[in-house]
């Protein structure tokens, strides 16, 4: 799955976020905070796994000055993207999203139904699900969504509300290996079954268009990839 990173400002500080459906986020912030919300959306779309990694890194950085110095902000972002090994990180671009323009109806409103939303949150509660499992669950619960990709928007809304947590299938751990001259190494761990590096298998991935690891240990439950969406139902603590 591909995602986008963005930063939102509701006062002084900018906060980094990740989205699987940016229109949902834009609507969410502007409907609540109107012109008080500042939004900066980054392109291009990146693999969910890399998005999670880049987001963690950005959260640990000193704050960005989006309003005052666009040029050096973008440069700094590109540098961090490159360090996180984001393909084409150097070509990243950013776009300010303005409330006034959004209000004029430049982007279509997403019709989100509160009853459907509540049903989805309830059905997912306490579960850890890949998208395929989620779609089976919707079917079993008799939840019929229109248009067909509306589930992306509902999942993202759940994430924004803290009713569920959108993440990726594999976690990444950074360490330095003394046997390799303390070079930075990354190892992967399955977020679903907890398996480590030994059970990871690399293959060219159709979903993110690059070499991408998945967990062999829990393969019978569906492929948990670095780029696949694995989300947890239930309120975030």
Report the C-alpha gap between 12 and 40 in whole angstroms: 14
Query: CB 232 → Zn ion: shortest distance, Å?
Result: 15
Residue identified by tokens 């070079």 is 183
Q: Cβ closer to Zn ion: 102 or 188? A: 188
Query: CB 172 → Zn ion: shortest distance, Å?
Result: 13
Q: What is the footprint of Zn ion within residues 142-201 (CB under 5 A)?
A: 190, 192-193, 195
Q: What is the footprint of Zn ion within residues 192-231 (CB under 5 A)?
A: 192-193, 195, 205, 207-208, 212, 215, 217-218, 224-225, 227
Write phi, then psi, for 58 (nearest 5 degrees): -65, -35
Query: CB 218 → Zn ion: shortest distance, Å?
Result: 3
Q: Cβ closer to Zn ion: 73 or 168? A: 168
Query: CB 2 → Zn ion: shortest distance, Å?
Result: 9
Which positions ≥6 away from 130 have C-beta within 8 Å? 169, 221, 222, 223, 224, 228, 229, 230
By CB under 5 A, tell whether 112 contacts Zn ion: no
Number of residues that bind Zn ion (CB under 5 A): 14
Residue identified by tokens 């309003």 is 67
Query: CB 46 → Zn ion: shortest distance, Å?
Result: 11
Q: Cβ closer to Zn ion: 97 or 229? A: 229
Q: Cβ closer to Zn ion: 20 or 26? A: 20
CB 20 within 8 Å of CB 11:
no
Residues near Zn ion (CB under 5 A) are 190, 192-193, 195, 205, 207-208, 212, 215, 217-218, 224-225, 227
């Amino acid at each position: 799955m591909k995602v986008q990173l963005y930063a939102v400002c509701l006062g002084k500080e900018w906060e980094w976020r990740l989205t699987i459906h940016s229109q949902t986020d834009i609507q969410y912030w502007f409907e609540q905070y109107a012109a008080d919300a500042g939004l900066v959306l980054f392109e291009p779309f990146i693999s969910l796994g890399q998005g999670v990694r880049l987001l963690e890194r950005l959260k640990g950085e000193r704050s960005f000055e989006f309003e005052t110095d666009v040029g050096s902000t973008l440069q700094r972002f590109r540098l961090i993207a490159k360090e996180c090994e984001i393909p084409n990180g150097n070509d990243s671009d950013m776009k300010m999203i303005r409330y006034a323009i959004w209000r004029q109806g430049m982007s279509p409103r997403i019709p989100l139904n509160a009853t459907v939303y509540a049903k989805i949150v309830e059905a997912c509660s306490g579960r850890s699900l890949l998208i395929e499992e989620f779609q089976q669950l919707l079917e079993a619960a008799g939840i019929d969504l229109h248009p067909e990709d509306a589930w992306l928007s509902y999942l993202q809304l759940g994430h924004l509300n803290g009713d569920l947590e959108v993440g990726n299938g594999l976690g990444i751990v950074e360490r330095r290996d003394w046997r390799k001259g303390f070079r930075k190494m990354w190892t992967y761990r399955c977020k679903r079954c907890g398996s480590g590096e030994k059970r990871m298998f690399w293959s060219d991935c159709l979903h993110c268009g690059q070499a991408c690891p998945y967990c062999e240990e829990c393969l019978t439950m569906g492929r948990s990839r670095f780029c696949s969406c694995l989300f947890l139902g239930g309120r975030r603590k």
